[in-house]
A and B are shown apart, each in its own frame.
Chain A
Amino acid sequence: MHWNDDRVDRMIGTVLRTGVLSAAAIVLLAGAGFLLHSGSSIPNYHSFRGEPAELRSIFGIIEGALHGRPLCIIQFGLLALIATPIIRVAFSVFAFAVQRDRMYAIITSVVFLVLLASLTGLVHPPH
């Protein structure tokens, strides 16, 4: 199997498209469910309260989504969207490593680790 730049480019395109489309589908379906259920309530975005803990951390979001809470499922879709470029970068680490491009495997790993630290709350703990 050849891991030339062309093939890598095509696969990265597929990763991005799949990620965005599935995230949009999750958000759309859960959003429709949320609006059917609580569409007539009065929103309050004027004053900032910050989201509850279950909508802040990866584990909280997944747990809430598994319990079928619409807001948690929307948040899970948004989490999938944020994860898409991160998976793209992980894929590039792999591709550079397979091409034996050590310098870029390292550069890309640095980017990947920073993204991972940010998403998992190492940079700013979710509480």
Chain B
Amino acid sequence: MNVLELSVVIFGVAAIAGFLGSLTGLGGGVVLTPALTLLFGVDIRYAIGASLVSVIATSSGAASAYVKEGYSNIRIGMFLEVATVFGAIAGAMLASKIPTSGLGVVLGVVLLISAYLSTRPHPDPSESDRGDPLAERLRLNSNYPTFRGWQHYRVERVKAGFSVMFGAGVLSGLLGIGSGAFKVIAMDRAMRIPFKVSTTTSNFMIGVTAAASAGVYLNRGYIDPALAMPVMLGVSAGALLGARQLAGAQTRILRVIFGIVVGVLALEMIWNGLTRRI
């Protein structure tokens, strides 16, 4: 295949990944790196660079719609971004120290965990009035709109959430993914932030986290413009279409299909990594 043909095919695959990623909430980035390495034989370092760039595009595009609705909490986001940006830089530095086969195995395992986490039910918003004194000092507690009007929430276990966020940042920088699933875990499980606030704030943060490691990747020469071009445009187009689709019965089937695709890609990444084929 020449550059033109390959660009068109990669655009198509990236568009499907972006569409399913935005529809299922898993994000397109998680399947992009394995798809590029397994289907097209792209070196995993170029694949991570291209995936990272498209993560910024979809996160920023989606966040521009969410901020207006009053769900995302900028103070929570900014405070936790301190953890994710330092984590992202640590992850990006670590990426050059780990052999590509090792990166493949880690990516496969992270993919499986993300897919599993996305099927778990979310805990109900905390009814306890305790909250974390640290959250009070950092003014993280806020309100969000529900169908019964504005609802107040208190943030718990700030330190635990901050630590998980650092880990999410490391994974994002190491693998070029948004690691939204782990960000939501930190906020919704550890800190007991309402699910809707967690997901929108996470989306808001993903772009900033990815930008922190993208700088390192750019300077290191991992971002190839000819490859990143169809990936970034395809994922964005797909995500835009996915965001317009209404949730319904079809989403359930698509979630199952996407879950299977993620599982197969993950196992293949782990296998290829262990047998040193990538």
Contact call B89/A78, Cβ cutoff below 8 A: no
Alpha-carbon separation in the docked complex, A117 to B92 (Å): 14
Within 8 A of A (CB), among B182-203: none
Question: Does residue B259 face the partner (Cβ distance < 8 Å to A)?
Answer: no
Within 8 A of A (CB), among B226-254: 226-230, 232-233, 236
Which listed residue (B7, B45, B139, B219) contacts A35, Cβ 8 A?
B7
Question: Does residue B151 face the partner (Cβ distance < 8 Å to A)?
Answer: no
A82 to chain B, nearest CB (A): 5
Alpha-carbon separation in the docked complex, A115 to B1 (Å): 38
A-B contacts, CB under 8 A, total = 209
- Residues on B with beta carbons closer than 8 Å to the beta carbon of A85: 56, 59-60, 207-208, 210-211
- Across chains A and B, which 3 residue pairs bring their CB atoms closest together, nearest first? A118-B215, A39-B4, A50-B221
- Residues on A with beta carbons closer than 8 Å to the beta carbon of B85: 111, 114-115, 118
- Number of residues of chain B lying within 8 A (CB) of chain A: 62
Which listed residue (B3, B67, B81, B215) contacts A123, Cβ 8 A?
B215
Residue of A17, A35, A43, A107 with most partner-chain B CB within 10 A: A43
Known contacts A9-B68, A24-B236; A84/B60 CB under 8 A: yes
Alpha-carbon separation in the docked complex, A48 to B70 (Å): 44
Known contacts A41-B2, A45-B42; A71/B226 CB under 8 A: yes
- Residues on A with beta carbons closer than 8 Å to the beta carbon of B53: 78, 81-82
Within 8 A of B (CB), among A37-58: 38-43, 45-48, 50-52, 55-57
- Residues on A with beta carbons closer than 8 Å to the beta carbon of B67: 9-10, 12-13, 16
Question: Does residue B116 face the partner (Cβ distance < 8 Å to A)?
Answer: no
Contact call A45/B70, Cβ cutoff below 8 A: no
Known contacts A85-B207, A92-B74, A119-B211; A20/B57 CB under 8 A: yes
Contact call B89/A34, Cβ cutoff below 8 A: no
Alpha-carbon separation in the docked complex, A72 to B229 (Å): 12
Within 8 A of B (CB), among A103-127: 103-104, 107-108, 110-111, 114-115, 117-121, 123-126
Question: Does residue B75 face the partner (Cβ distance < 8 Å to A)?
Answer: yes
Question: Does residue B144 face the partner (Cβ distance < 8 Å to A)?
Answer: no
- Residues on B with beta carbons closer than 8 Å to the beta carbon of A16: 60-61, 63-64, 67, 207
Chain A residue with minimal CB distance to B142?
A: A5
- Residues on A with beta carbons closer than 8 Å to the beta carbon of B68: 9-10, 13
11 contacts between A and B (CB under 8 A): A27-B232, A31-B229, A43-B2, A45-B224, A45-B227, A81-B57, A83-B211, A89-B81, A110-B82, A114-B212, A118-B215
Q: Mark B99-125, 1 if CB is under 8 A from A, else 0.
A: 000000000000000000000000000
